[in-house]
Amino acid sequence: MANSTPNTTPAPPTGAPSGPAPLRVGLIGYGLAGAVFHAPLIATTPGLRLDAVVTANPERREQAGARYPQARLLSSAEELWPLGLDLVVVATPNRTHIPLATAALQAGVPVVVDKPLAATSTEGAALAGLAEERGLLLSVFQNRRWDGDFLTVSELVSSGRLGRVHRFESRFERWRPNLKGGWRELGDPAEAGGLLYDLGSHLVDQALTLFGPAASVYAELDVRRAGAAADDDSFVALTHVDGTRSHLWMSAAAGELGPRFRVLGSEAAYTSWGLDGQEDALRAGRTPTDEGWGTTPAALFGQLGTVDDSVAHPTLPGAYEAYYAGIAAALHGLAPVPVEPRDAVAALRVLEAARHSAAEGRMVKL
């Protein structure tokens, strides 16, 4: 019998409107998250218009203006609130997520926040409560729910092809022996830096989406690279309420990369290698409107079966565009938000438990 999937990833909405008056979106932040992910996805989503971009960096303002000449270029978030926008997207360093999202909600504007929602689950829950109190949309950009390989794993689990899944292994590993600098490598907990919060936000969200709440957490958070101040080589083990175990690795110090997914079930296993290609495509300037978007070459398909009989299994197309299509539909009252803020709070509770577990060298029950 397959595991239950209480939070299965929704299919791309088919009813998102694209009338003559698109929803106007303001984007705060034009660094990696804003420039590579949010801006191109917003700009190519039917029914949405990238109306304003906020960045205090003159060079980034110039870059945004060159790519999105229709967008207003602003230097502070405060300039957004009088514009009567339909949505604000917060794509700034983690420590600024809560104050900026709070200001937007207080100004009466729905908000999308890049992951992680907050540095603490308490802050995240308070923000979710404010959105509920104001009757405004709040969602978290968990784009890797729409990775092609994760969509494939989701389908295999929900369809029962693997049988009863007993172990889910997920890796987000890189070989980056030299520090890059920036807030992601800062050790202050208020920055919510380190790989646990940066990459672990994705891996934990995926595990909870597949197998439901975690009952206990065990973690090892290490600093491997010279000069690093935050965890850069970490492992988190979850025992879900349904008994499934999720083993999650995140590393910037992996000289050889393990499989992206290895899912072991009572009837079969599925293993895949390499990262979904949508991020690289966005970095190269491609968008979901380009031909072949989200497809995985057959040579990179994962393997499905057992040691006695294993075959290449086609990877479903990745679909980052589904997130903002879902946001457009939700703003028009046609669908629920594609990622619920309370899901993000649950993931933050797991990340906090992981920190406690690593610091105290023990399993933490939730």
For 275-322, what is each residue's pLDDT tens digit? 999 999 999 999 999 999 999 999 999 999 999 999 999 999 999 999
How would residue 357 be classed by pLDDT, with cut points 50, 70 and 90?
Answer: very high
pLDDT in tens, 142-187: 999 999 999 999 999 999 999 999 999 999 999 999 988 777 777 7
- Helix axes of 200-211 and 148-159: crossing angle, nearest 10 degrees: 20
How would residue 191 be classed by pLDDT, with cut points 50, 70 and 90?
Answer: confident
Could you tell me the end-to-end alpha-carbon distance of the chain, in angstroms, rounded to an integer? 26
Residue 63 or 18, more confident: 63
To the nearest whole number, what is the mean pLDDT of the chain?
94
Ordered domains of the chain (ranges, CATH): 23-142 (3.40.50.720), 144-323+348-365 (3.30.360.10)
Is 136 within 8 Å of 110 (Cβ atoms)? yes
How would residue 17 be classed by pLDDT, with cut points 50, 70 and 90?
Answer: very low
The torsion defined by the Cα of 102, 106, 109 and 114, in degrees rounded to 10, comes to 0
Mean pLDDT, range 42-53, rounded to an integer: 98
Q: Given 3-state DSSP classes, what are the helix, strand and coil percentages for the chain, each rounded to the nearest 5?
A: 35, 25, 40
For residues 156 and 150, give the distance between their C-alpha atoms in angstroms, rounded to a whole number. 10
For residues 264 and 270, give the distance between their C-alpha atoms in angstroms, rounded to a whole number. 7
How would residue 13 be classed by pLDDT, with cut points 50, 70 and 90?
Answer: low
For residues 64 and 42, give the distance between their C-alpha atoms in angstroms, rounded to a whole number. 13
User: Quick check: 31 pLDDT over 90?
Assistant: yes
Which ranges constitute the DSSP H helices of 88-227? 97-106, 121-134, 148-159, 194-198, 200-211
For residues 18 and 10, give the distance between their C-alpha atoms in angstroms, rounded to a whole number. 20
User: Quick check: 18 pLDDT over 80?
Assistant: no
Mean pLDDT, range 46-62, rounded to an integer: 97
Is 24 within 8 Å of 85 (Cβ atoms)? yes
For residues 320 and 141, give the distance between their C-alpha atoms in angstroms, rounded to a whole number. 10
Q: How many CB atoms lie within 10 A of CB 349?
A: 21
For residues 31 and 11, give the distance between their C-alpha atoms in angstroms, rounded to a whole number. 29
Is 227 within 8 Å of 179 (Cβ atoms)? yes
Pairing state between β 302-306 and 309-313? antiparallel
Take residue 54 and report the two structure tokens written for it: 């906020």
